[in-house]
Chain A
């Protein structure tokens, strides 16, 4: 088994196990509201960290300006409650245009 196959398998089995928690425990255990709240806050913290590192860094360095500027435009569109499709395509289009204009 290659390391990549192992990674996909572990991720798949683990993720399915997480998803089974609710249906399996249904009617047996009730999570305290405090724990549920902490879980969802943790998810948001993880996603924002992924957003920040994904927007600004490449490997171990700065990703260049084109990507973060595209993400910024997507973020502003999202903030102004633009449809999801516009957020995605807006970010990609701005980054693509900046690169076409010669920005890294």
Chain B
């Protein structure tokens, strides 16, 4: 039971951290000029933090709906790889698989794969999945409703929160693999270099050129 209590504590912490990000997502979207329903509905049906932030960021920057959807989708291609990794953890029944698929995120996959046996992997996936889905959506709603009341979110430094979240999420991957590190740095350099001359959303796509230098000498 100790391990399970530890799991609940860790899930609660990530729900809390995600909640802060969710509030800032809702607040940024509404403070930027989008109607309340956009961040709220997007969180329910897209349910992918980084893709939501980038899509809203592009919409607010005037990059257009096509670039917003395309960039979000590109960011979410990784969930296809995740879903392959946790397919047998989610469960076998049809309804279970259809619902579980929607809960596949960086966090649920990390929680599930960190468990030592199949029973606990399954429990971790569903506990973190349901907990994160509920807390994320409630917090986005709260942030969206407070959005205009919060005034200029810049005052609270919320615009610095998302890049910091990304840093926390990608650091383990960067720490462990020199090839990934090279590709990521090259990609970021490309993205920054072209930012002033191409439409919003495109710099991040062009960063994929960094993959060319990812391959390590065999």
**Residues of chain A having any CB pair with chain B under 8 Å:** 3-4, 6-12, 14-16, 18-26, 31, 36, 38-57, 59-61, 63, 66-67, 70-71, 73-75, 77-79, 83-85, 87-100
Bound CA–CA A47/B48 (angstroms):
13
Nearest CB in chain A: distance from B64 CB, A? 7
- The number of chain B residues with a CB under 8 A from chain A is 94
Given A18-B76, A46-B207, A96-B156, 20 more contacts at CB 8 Å? A4-B34, A7-B55, A7-B65, A7-B69, A11-B72, A11-B76, A22-B82, A24-B97, A26-B87, A26-B97, A43-B81, A45-B184, A48-B174, A50-B50, A53-B188, A78-B171, A83-B13, A88-B168, A93-B157, A96-B155
**Residues of chain B having any CB pair with chain A under 8 Å:** 13-14, 16-17, 20-21, 24, 34, 38, 41-42, 45-48, 50-51, 53-55, 57, 59, 61, 64-66, 68-69, 72-88, 90, 97-98, 100-102, 104, 154-171, 173-174, 177, 179-180, 183-185, 187-188, 190-192, 195-197, 200, 203-204, 207-208, 210-211, 214
* Residues of chain A lying within 8 A (CB to CB) of residue B98: 20, 23
Q: Would you call B81 and A92 a contact (CB within 8 A)? A: no
Nearest CB in chain A: distance from B100 CB, A? 7
Closest to A92 in B: B157
* Residues of chain A lying within 8 A (CB to CB) of residue B179: 41
Interface of A is mostly: helix
Nearest CB in chain A: distance from B183 CB, A? 5
Tally of A-B Cβ pairs under 8 angstroms = 284
Nearest CB in chain A: distance from B136 CB, A? 14
Contact of A8 (CB < 8 Å), options: B16, B45, B200: B45
Nearest CB in chain B: distance from A94 CB, A? 7
Nearest CB in chain A: distance from B130 CB, A? 15
A47 and B155 in contact (CB under 8 A), knowing A8-B41, A11-B69, A55-B160?
Answer: no
